[in-house]
């Protein structure tokens, strides 16, 4: 039987087949690379979103509990080097405290603005816990040193205050050398001191002010013992409690040979405690801005008026209000008039300095935080730069088109200790 010869591929057929294979393989590689790149980008976006939720949750917890046992009161912490009184409030916003590294502009347009530093204060009111499982109250009620329950003064000797009840030994140990607040819920003010000893079971010795900064001619000066703050009849149930403070800020690291890196940092001791240093929380938050919502006490239906240089909008007034710490005296007065003017508890006739700022801070009822987060990796294919300057092009939102994905989140918190509605 005659067999048919087996015919192989010609050179032309082999070349055509090889070319088709190369094209198919190249397409598969391109598709695979594109899918992998897209997967990385989506993971970056998801990581940024997850991080934004985590940062928001932590800030919301801290902000909702600020001013514990302090509320909208202001606390005298002493006099500065110029002899002027220094005050703190439950929330302190240092506007534009941390600028970004250069370059920050392109063609005059700022695309990464400065960030605010957020300082939070309050009192520890839930009690101290000890290794043996026991607990002692940290919030102590002060009482008349002579034993009266409704009159007299809780101050003796200029540096010692008296408590209504015996101080547990555990609380004495926990309070020793701690910075404490003495607050007056009735008068809406407080004084800062450091515990130095316990002469008796119902007495606490204090060093007044912050780091030896003595009080001037103001209510917290023990020399003004006739002021209503020191008298039980006009200041019923004054409270003593440890100071609690925390701080948040954006810092930029500019290590040699690497691009500037934004760092969200947290200080668990805040600005008035022995400093344990800043702790890094995140390397993805690029900017933090804070606005304060102030209540209207005139029942005009205006609602909350937000002050701050970020966001603006109708709720910030016309024109948008600058931060309180950057307002002129006339701006503060105009805003206070818009919010109903001085109220009886604003102590307008006391001659105290910074009365306008105090009156405005007493009206804070909400805190608005805006965070701008970015992905850690930049997609170089999506980056656009100005040839002449080498800086990124700015998009419609004012963000640099440097190949990073950005997300802006804004959230509002109403602290539990700041009552909403009614006169402050």
Q: What is the rounded CA–CA span in Å between residue 253 and residue 263?
A: 7
pLDDT at 204: 94
Residue at 352 is within a domain = yes
Looking at the domain assignment, is residue 109 inside a domain? yes
246 located within any domain: no
Global pTM reads: 0.78
**Spatial contact of 67 and 419, defined as CB atoms under 8 Å apart:** no
| Residue 252 maps to a domain | no
pLDDT of residue 248: 92
CA atoms of 392 and 374, how far apart (whole Å): 15
Q: What are the strands of the beta sheet with 285-294, ordered from one edge?
A: 305-307, 285-294, 364-374, 406-413
In a domain, 135, yes or no: no
Q: Supply the range of the domain harboring residue 333.
A: 44-118+286-413
Q: Is residue 388 part of a domain?
A: yes
In order along its 424 residues, the chain shows pLDDT tens digits of 555 555 666 777 778 778 888 888 887 777 776 666 666 666 666 666 777 788 888 888 888 877 777 777 778 887 766 666 677 888 888 888 888 766 544 444 445 778 899 998 887 765 544 333 444 556 788 888 887 666 688 888 888 999 888 888 888 888 888 888 888 877 778 888 899 999 999 999 998 887 666 676 677 888 777 788 888 877 777 888 888 888 999 988 876 566 778 889 988 888 777 667 888 888 888 889 999 988 877 666 667 888 886 443 334 444 567 888 788 888 888 888 888 887 766 664 455 557 788 888 888 888 999 998 887 777 766 666 655 566 667 676 667 777 777 888 899 988 877 764 333 4
Residue 91: inside a domain: yes
Backbone angles phi, psi at 173, to 5 degrees: -65, -40
Give me the pLDDT at residue 325, please.
79
Q: Count how many domains the chain has.
A: 1
In a domain, 355, yes or no: yes
∠ Cα 377 379 380 (to 5°): 120
Q: How far apart are CA 367 and CA 57, in angstroms?
A: 14
**Cα(398)–Cα(416) distance, integer angstroms:** 35
pLDDT at site 44: 66
The per-residue pLDDT for 111 is 59
């Amino acid at each position: 039987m005659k067999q048919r010869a087996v015919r192989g591929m010609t050179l032309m057929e082999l070349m055509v087949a090889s070319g088709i294979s190369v094209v198919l393989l190249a397409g598969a590689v391109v598709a695979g690379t594109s899918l992998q790149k897209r997967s990385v980008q989506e993971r970056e976006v998801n990581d940024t979103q997850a991080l934004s939720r985590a940062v928001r949750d932590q800030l919301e917890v801290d902000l909702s509990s600020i001013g514990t046992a302090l509320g909208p009161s202001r606390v005298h912490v002493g006099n500065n080097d110029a002899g002027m009184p220094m005050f703190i409030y439950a929330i302190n916003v240092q506007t534009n405290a941390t600028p970004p590294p250069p370059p920050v502009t392109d063609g005059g347009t700022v695309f990464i603005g400065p960030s605010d530093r957020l300082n939070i204060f309050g009192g520890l009111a839930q009690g101290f816990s000890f290794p043996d499982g026991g607990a002692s109250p940290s919030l102590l009620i002060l009482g008349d040193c002579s034993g009266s329950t409704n009159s007299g003064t809780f101050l003796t000797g200029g540096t010692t205050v008296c408590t209504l009840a015996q101080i547990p030994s555990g609380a004495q140990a926990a309070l020793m050398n701690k910075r404490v607040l003495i607050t007056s819920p009735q008068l809406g003010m407080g004084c800062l001191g450091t515990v130095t000893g316990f002469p008796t079971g119902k007495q606490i010795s204090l060093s007044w002010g912050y780091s030896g900064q003595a009080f001037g001619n103001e209510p917290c000066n023990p020399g003004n013992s006739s002021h209503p703050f020191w008298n039980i009849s006009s200041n019923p149930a004054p409270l003593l409690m440890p100071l609690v403070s925390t701080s948040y800020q954006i810092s930029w690291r500019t290590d040699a040979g690497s691009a500037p890196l934004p760092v969200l940092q947290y200080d668990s001791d805040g600005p008035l405690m022995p400093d344990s240093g800043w702790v890094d929380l995140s390397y993805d938050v690029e900017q933090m801005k804070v606005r304060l919502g102030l209540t209207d006490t005139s029942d005009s239906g205006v609602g909350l008026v937000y002050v701050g240089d970020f966001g603006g909008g109708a709720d910030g007034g016309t024109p948008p209000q600058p931060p309180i710490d950057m307002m002129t005296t006339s701006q503060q007065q105009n805003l206070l008039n818009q919010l109903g003017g001085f109220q009886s508890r604003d102590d307008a006739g006391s001659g105290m300095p910074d009365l306008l700022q105090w009156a405005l801070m007493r009206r804070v009822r909400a805190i608005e935080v805006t965070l701008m987060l970015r992905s850690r990796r930049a997609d170089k294919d999506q980056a656009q730069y100005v040839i002449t300057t080498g800086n990124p092009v700015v998009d419609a939102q004012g963000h640099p088109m440097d190949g990073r994905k950005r997300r802006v989140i804004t959230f509002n918190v109403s602290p539990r200790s700041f009552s909403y509605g009614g006169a402050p």
